[in-house]
Amino acid sequence: MGTEFSDSELESLIDRVKETKSVKGSTSKKPSKVIVIEPAEPLTEEKERALHKQQTRNEDKLIRTMQGNVSDPHILATAAQELAEEIFALKFERQRLEVEGKDITQAAGKRVIALKALIDTSLKLKELTREEPVDFNSVQMQVIIRLLFTKIQESLKSSGYSGQDIQTFFQVFQTNMETFQVEAQRDIDLELGD
C-alpha cells in the first residue's frame, strides 16, 4: 500500500531532506531512498482483545504441555489442576450469587458436573501413574542386573578377594536370588500402597 510519487514530487522531497540536513550541519549528499511511513492503524478494542487472547494462549500451561508431547503424563495432571481452578471459580460464583440472594441452581449444577469430571480425571491419573508390575525379564532389566553383578564382581576383586572366594560368593548369591522377583514385586507393591 505504498504511495506513488511523480519524478518531480520525488525530487522535491529529496531537496527538502537535503536542505534540512544541510541546515543541521550534515555533509550527507542526496539520500539513496525515500521511505514513506504510513500511519499505523489504530488498535481497536477487538484487535487488542485478540492480541491479549493470543498472548495468554501462548502462556497457557496446559497448551504448552500439550505442544511438548501429547502422550506426556503431565498433561492429565495439568488438566486436573486447570479443572480444579475452574471448580473454584464456579464455587466463588455460587457464593456470590448466594450473597446477592440470587438463584444458585445453575452455578451449583455446573460445579457438581465439574467435580465429577475432576474425580474421573483423578482416578484416571491414579490408574496411569500406578506402577505396572516390573518386567524382570525385559531387556532393560537384564542389562541392569548384569551391570550390577559386574560391579559386585569388580568390587570384590578390588577388595582383594580371590577368584575362588568370588565364585563361592556368586554361588550363594545365585541361591538367594531365586526368590528375588517375588520379593521385589512385593516390596514395590507395599511401597506404592497397593
Q: Which tens digits make up the pLDDT trace of 17-49?
A: 666 555 455 555 555 666 767 767 777 888 888
Instruction: Pick 15 or 32 by higher pLDDT.
Output: 15
9 lies in the same domain as 67: no
> For the packed helices 163-176 and 139-158, what is the interaxial angle rounded to 10 degrees?
140
Q: Which of 95, 129, 163 is the last residue of a domain?
A: 129
Indicate the pTM of the whole model. Answer: 0.40
Task: Give whichever of 68-77, 133-142, 177-186 has the largest mean pLDDT.
Answer: 177-186
Domain of 70 in residue numbering reads as 59-129
Q: What are phi and psi of 36, to 5 degrees?
A: -100, 120
Distance (Å, rounded) from C-alpha 108 to C-alpha 105?
A: 5
**Average pLDDT, rounded, for the chain:** 78
Whether the pLDDT of residue 110 is over 90: the answer is: no
Same domain, 113 and 145: no
The cell for 68 is 511438548
Q: How many CB atoms lie within 10 A of CB 96?
A: 12
Do 22 and 83 have their domain in common? no
C-alpha span between 23 and 30 (Å, rounded): 14
| Domain boundary residue, one of 129, 164, 179 | 129
Does 125 map to a domain? yes
Q: Same domain, yes or no, for 188 and 153?
A: yes
Residue 53 lies in a domain: no
Range among 17-21, 126-130, 143-147 with highest mean pLDDT value: 143-147
CA within 13 Å, CB half, 34: 18
Looking at the structure of the chain, the number of domains it has is 3
Q: Note whether residue 48 is domain-resident.
A: no
